[in-house]
A and B are shown apart, each in its own frame.
Chain A
Amino acid sequence: MSLAMRVEEKLYQNRYIVDAGKPHIAIRPHDKPSENLLAMTRICPAGCYAETSSGQVEITPDGCLECGTCRVLCEASGDITWNYPRGGFGVLFKFG
């Protein structure tokens, strides 16, 4: 066990049924990300948010833990749209 246990390795332990082609979170196109959107690249516990080389924030919600943190921080300003995945899809906790 080391300090370097990365999120990607951890997500590997989890069970998911990904609804291919139907992402449940989407980012509004932007030139410059808002402060909160930028913060998500650090805060998202599943590492779904990343900054591109040209400085925008993009999302790959496949490993999403459906915690809702990004919704709380970024939905009101219109930075993102957030929905639950279709019934049965998404993360499926074995223990929770």
Chain B
Amino acid sequence: MIEEKFDAIVIGAGMAGNAAAHTMASRGLKVLQLERGEYAGSKNVQGAILYADMVEKIIPNFREEAPLERHLVEQRFWMMGDRSHTGLQYRNDDFNEDKPNRYTIIRSQFDRWFSKEVQAQGALVICETTVTELVSDAYGKVIGVRTDRRGGTIFADVVILCEGVNGLLGARAGLRDTPKAEHVALAVKEMHFLPRETIESRFNLHGDEGVVIEAAGVISKGMTGMGFVYTNKESVSVGMGCLVSDFATNNDTPNGLLEAFKNHPSIKPLLEGSEVKEYAAHLIPEGGYKTIPQLFGDGWVVCGDAAQLNNAIHREGSNLALTSGRLAGEAIFQIKSRREPMTKQNLALYKQYLDDSFVMKDLKKYKDMPALLHANSQNYFLAYPQLVSKAMENFLRVDGTPKLDKEKATVASFVKERRWTGLFGDAWRLARAWR
């Protein structure tokens, strides 16, 4: 198929792969990128919030070119009760700045644009090609890949695995394990189309301003999970995700949860009359720091979701993927300019760059959160939200009961549900994990 040898082969044209390929090609390396989808982005699913800083480091003027939906001026966190929500809302007009910090995007469109930029830097990008196998030499060094196209092995000095959370290649080559059910969430998502003006009036927006709603509480039925509603120009992304291990033991279906979320009295009016044009599902790595596998070896590195580089607490993944891809590209360029081989020892430079970046620092900060939320999911995602809803109702309903009695009733219901020791323990564990 392809006779020549490449400096680097990048597997996947998602956030990590495009960042890596762009970084290397723009520095003059000979790069081949392989993507199994019909075009870059055709297999990818995201909420999707894009963090500008991490794109800017790769394509400084991306705001002028990239397909962006809305810049975010408002964030809502909703704790959902059965028929209520308690919200925290933050809106800031300063987010209407020249260079906004966060945008909503539509992944298939963004990735396709990004891929054109990669090609413009001189990388050879071949889509509709699934890589089936990594090829190693007698010493175990990765020296190339095999694909489902006709022809033999394609060789390169280094292979960059950016194959996403469900990466088969790294696992099959024994470089890392397949993620465990308790370390990945299954998210289902729909695209709801509405006229621009309807979105703007329903969500209190002007022009290209956008708002996101993150929702947790009874909607996940006691499982570790969340729902979201993100505004695009002419569509609203609505999704719901829970840990796969929780789904395995719970009686709810992913689609059933999404339908219930959409029909929640706080959400339904936002979507009324919309036309649904797509239903998607995807995994999200949620295991955090403790599940990060070996990130480099002889002739290979791994980036993005494939390496579990995802911050579930802050709902950040694309920026970690972009950054890890870029840093891998920079490390490889460094090694190459020194005319040194792509050995494990030399590729440790990538890990060093990552350790110095926000990627590893953030993931380390929250290293205990995933296990905690999982172990206590019934409290955090069912009992407490119901209690908060009850407390708010007690507080707001004026019915002739003296306020002191109401407060006592609220406190009593919290204590009854969890006992003092339980409540104290939960709070302490949460604070420790957050630290």
Interface residues on chain B, number (Cβ under 8 Å): 58
A17 to B127, CA, bound (A): 15
Query: Which of B109, B248, B274 counts the most chain A CB atoms within 10 A?
Result: B248
Q: Are A87 and B190 in contact (CB under 8 A)?
A: no
Given A13-B278, A43-B254, A73-B181, answer yes or no on A96-B46 (Cβ-Cβ < 8 Å): yes
A interface residue count range (under 10 / 10 to 19 / 20 to 34 / 35 or more): 35 or more
Report chain B residues within 8 Å CB of A5: 255, 259
CB B308 to nearest CB in A, in angstroms, measures 13
Report chain A residues within 8 Å CB of B128: 87-88
Q: Are A84 and B36 in contact (CB under 8 A)?
A: yes
A22 to B426, CA, bound (A): 50
Given A67-B283, A75-B178, answer yes or no on A95-B277 (Cβ-Cβ < 8 Å): yes
CB A91 to nearest CB in B, in angstroms, measures 7
A10 to B238, CA, bound (A): 14
Q: Is A14 an interface residue (CB 8 A)?
A: yes
In A39-96, the 8 Å CB interface with B consists of 39, 42-43, 45-47, 65-69, 71-73, 75-76, 82-88, 90-96
In B187-224, the 8 Å CB interface with A consists of 188, 190-191
Q: Are B253 and A42 in contact (CB under 8 A)?
A: yes
Q: Is B106 an interface residue (CB 8 A)?
A: yes
Q: Is B271 an interface residue (CB 8 A)?
A: yes
Q: Are A94 and B277 in contact (CB under 8 A)?
A: yes
Task: Name the contact of B180 in the complex, choosing from A4, A45, A72 (C-beta under 8 A).
Answer: A72
Q: Is B147 an interface residue (CB 8 A)?
A: yes
A85 to B251, CA, bound (A): 30
Q: Are B255 and A45 in contact (CB under 8 A)?
A: yes
Q: Is B235 an interface residue (CB 8 A)?
A: yes
Given A36-B248, A96-B44, answer yes or no on A7-B255 (Cβ-Cβ < 8 Å): yes
Q: Would you mind naming 23 contact pairs between A and B with Cβ atoms under 8 Å apart?
A: A7-B279, A13-B278, A14-B278, A17-B38, A39-B247, A45-B186, A65-B280, A68-B165, A72-B178, A72-B184, A72-B244, A76-B178, A87-B147, A87-B148, A88-B36, A88-B38, A93-B42, A93-B278, A95-B278, A96-B42, A96-B43, A96-B106, A96-B111
